[in-house]
Structure 1
Amino acid sequence: MNALPPIEAENPCQSCGACCGYSENWPRFTIEDDAALDAIPAALVNQRLSGMRCEANRCAALSGTIGQATACTIYALRPEVCRDCQPGDPECLMARRKFRLPPLPAAITD
């Protein structure tokens, strides 16, 4: 079995980012309170104020290259939908498939 690069072994999301580029409808606000929403920079919120602004399907808060090295520029302020997507969960695997990324190894998802 091939060893994972150190960044993927430590935090697979930082070498993936697929969930942040899956759909412009995915990073929508759901249960955030007003204070949490006010903390997100207005330039990163869509015109309907219903979720994160996306360029095509990619969240405007995502930096880097999907499948190589990524980071959320507002990680500490990210909406609940972003917090809920966990490495190896069904949503993660669906997003990874879209970008033709392999499923995460069981050691990371357990």
Structure 2
Amino acid sequence: MAVGAEIFDCQSCGACCAYSADWPRFSIEEDEQLEKIPEAFVAADLSGMRCDGTRCLALAGEIGKHVACTIYDVRPEVCRECMPGDPECLMARAERGMPAI
């Protein structure tokens, strides 16, 4: 767990899921993993998650209030690797004007 991770609540944040359309990219997933992600959430070029602007289409709710990943159990590795309070988390929060702590 990242330092200070206990103060971050992913379900009231969602910044990492709306940071960049280039972030939710597939890289080390096996074909079997990728096949579990509903086609509606996969980018047309199959490189990663489909986004509306910078926001992943699998993200439901209002960023900074209450959010949830609608495909949490089958989300790609890049999503699994972003941990509360880690550098990527803090970078995404800063981009959205959210406090680091």
TM-score, normalised to structure 2, is 0.91
- Is the Cα–Cα contact under 8 Å of residues 28 and 51 in structure 1 kept in the other structure? yes
Q: Which residue of 2 aligns with 1:4?
A: none
For residues 81-106 of structure 1, what are the alpha-carbon distances to aligned partners after superposition, in whole Å with 9 as ceiling and x for unaligned?
Answer: 000000000000000001111113xx
Query: Across the two proteins, how many residue pairs are aligned to each other?
Result: 96
Misfit runs of 4+, over 3 Å: none
Once residues 16 and 53 of structure 1 are traced to their aligned partners in structure 2, the CA distance between those partners, rounded to angstroms, is: 20
- Is the Cα–Cα contact under 8 Å of residues 27 and 82 in structure 1 kept in the other structure? yes
Considering fraction of residues, name the structure with more helix.
1
Q: Which residue of 2 aligns with 1:35?
A: 32
Once residues 61 and 20 of structure 1 are traced to their aligned partners in structure 2, the CA distance between those partners, rounded to angstroms, is: 9
Q: Determine whether 1:77 maps to 2:77.
A: no
**Structure 2: stretches of 5+ with no match in the other structure:** 1-5
**Structure 1: stretches of 5+ with no match in the other structure:** 1-8, 105-110
Percent identity at matched positions? 60
* Alignment-mate amino acid for residue 78 of structure 1: R
Q: CA deviation at 1:68?
A: 0.6
Q: Determine whether 1:98 maps to 2:91.
A: no
